[in-house]
Structure 1
Amino acid sequence: MCELLAMSSLLPTQLTHSLAALAAHAGGESHNRDGWGVGFYRGRDVALFREPTAASDSELVKLLQNQGPSTKLIVAHLRHATQGAVNLANTGPFARELRGRMRIFAHNGNLRGLGLSAEFDGGCYQAIGESDSEQAFCALLARLQLMEMQYPELPSLHERLFLIGRFAADLRRLGPANFLYSDGDALFAHADRRFNALSGKVEAPALYHWHCPVPHTLLQDEASGEQRVSFIASVPLSEDDWRPMAEGEVIALHDGAVVETLLLGKGKNDL
């Protein structure tokens, strides 16, 4: 299955070894060789880099590892194609503008029948490719648009997290629905289930969270003063103490810290 990676920090920093560690997971006989992408936030905008090729073979990944922009928020993705051809249009993360902010989304799983359900209508947001991940993103944006148009700025973090939790609960009925979403202000992560090669089952944990002591070799701290950094990843990228997220856990991170958590009910559609 695909792999996800995200970082949230208090002060701008440069992603270094964690990007290399992620890219290495596309090497050899890995199934995650169908594309890669990484988005670096700068305020309301995002610098997005994607290729429909293996990250382990990419010169662009090496360039970003050594000279990538400093940022407080990153979302990255390795693709294992399950729906849609191997091309740029189907390569995550996906980005769209909503109310003057770039939004970014990356998904891991296989959502069957998503495009046939009116419940996941994207409204004015249309997918460019054929992937279930992009279709899910469009559906999320349609729901966010309905809520956000009622506010002059972003709704409270609690309101955003609750909507994302409801969306995650709906999505899980179609299959594994691990995803990362950001509006440039906060990072949201939903952990569901993932294929475990050791057990041969689709099960939790599907995402891991690590609050990183700094300075650390997984990143390059360019800021002066006190720093705070958190990572979310499909699998631990180091030998540090990564916390497995529970099935149905949805967290919101801001400035490198988890600020609020939801846990979906056992019925897959309850908060």
Structure 2
Amino acid sequence: MNQSLVAFMARSEVPAANLGLGCYEGADAQLIRDPAGAGLVSGFIDGSTQGCGLLLACQGEAADLPAGLANCQPFARELMGTVHLFAMQGELQGLEDSRAFPTGVYTPIGDASAERAFCVLMSRMRVLWLEDTPLPEVRLAVVSDFAARMRPLGLANFIYADSELLFVHGHQQAGDPDRSGLFLGRSEGGIRVSGQALDRGDWQGLEPGEVLMIKGAEVLERCAPFKLWSQLVD
């Protein structure tokens, strides 16, 4: 993970304003968020002796949002005794319309549209989880529908984890709608997902708008991009 972070930061065109890390242990997750870029993330990785089966790391840019813990990804919310994590690249417009994008019991803490988008997703997921742990294919359907609703609002490359499954949505590269927004890499029996190909490994770009459902080192399902009926042109 340290090698991936070093490679990612080296490829960044602007200085990082913050770094964040979410490391799962069962249904819970340890968050290390460093809005000041003080080396907390790299220090945690260097000092950690415990393995982690599912880990999210995020780098924010200085011009994105006001500095502060509330705007530092990944964002976390609890649902039925499980920590859910979310990270997104992009800025979305129109999420303030609570009729179209209700957040339910989840309230954003900071100013990031990514956090509001996460609250919208969690509000929809909560309906599923209130009865019992929903089937993976049902969760994928909700995430894919959510992704289709986010794409018209702006750049929406996101990663969402519910401790068991990882969902990734590769929208597009900023300023280049024909290029994939996320890349999938395999190494040493694991899977890595990144906004950039970090090394010379076997990295493949997701189809723009595609949603992947991942468990451990296996891609369980790929959902091709689709448009909602309200987005279709007569």
Q: Same fold (TM over 0.5)?
A: yes
Match of 1:207 among 182, 189, 192: 182
Inter-partner Cα distance in structure 2 for 1:185 and 1:120: 26
Q: Secondary structure at the match of 1:118?
A: coil
Q: Output the aligned Cα RMSD.
A: 2.0
Inter-partner Cα distance in structure 2 for 1:46 and 1:155: 20
Per the alignment, residue 147 of structure 1 pairs with 128
Per the alignment, residue 46 of structure 1 pairs with 29
Structure 1 position 50, deviation (Å): 0.6
Per the alignment, residue 83 of structure 2 pairs with 102
Segments of structure 1 that go 5 or more residues without pairing to the other structure are 1-14, 215-227
Match of 1:178 among 140, 146, 157: 157
Per the alignment, residue 237 of structure 1 pairs with 198
Inter-partner Cα distance in structure 1 for 2:165 and 2:106: 22
Where has structure 1 moved over 6 Å in runs of 4 or more?
none
Inter-partner Cα distance in structure 2 for 1:106 and 1:112: 17
Inter-partner Cα distance in structure 2 for 1:82 and 1:115: 22
Per the alignment, residue 86 of structure 1 pairs with 67
Inter-partner Cα distance in structure 2 for 1:62 and 1:25: 17
Q: Secondary structure at the match of 1:176?
A: coil
Q: Is the 8 A contact 1:38 1:93 kept in 2?
A: yes
TM-score, normalization: structure 1? 0.79
Segments of structure 2 that go 5 or more residues without pairing to the other structure are none
TM alignment of 1:12-161, pairs within 5 A: 15-25=1-11, 30-31=13-14, 33-54=16-37, 58-68=38-48, 69-80=50-61, 84-151=65-132, 154-161=133-140
Inter-partner Cα distance in structure 1 for 2:62 and 2:97: 20
Inter-partner Cα distance in structure 1 for 2:100 and 2:63: 22
Larger RCO (CA within 8 A; separation ≥ 6)? 1
Structure 1 position 194, deviation (Å): 1.7
Structure 1 position 80, deviation (Å): 2.4
Q: Secondary structure at the match of 1:34?
A: strand
TM-score, normalization: structure 2? 0.91
Structure 1 position 265, deviation (Å): 2.0
Q: Secondary structure at the match of 2:100?
A: helix
Q: Percent identity?
A: 32
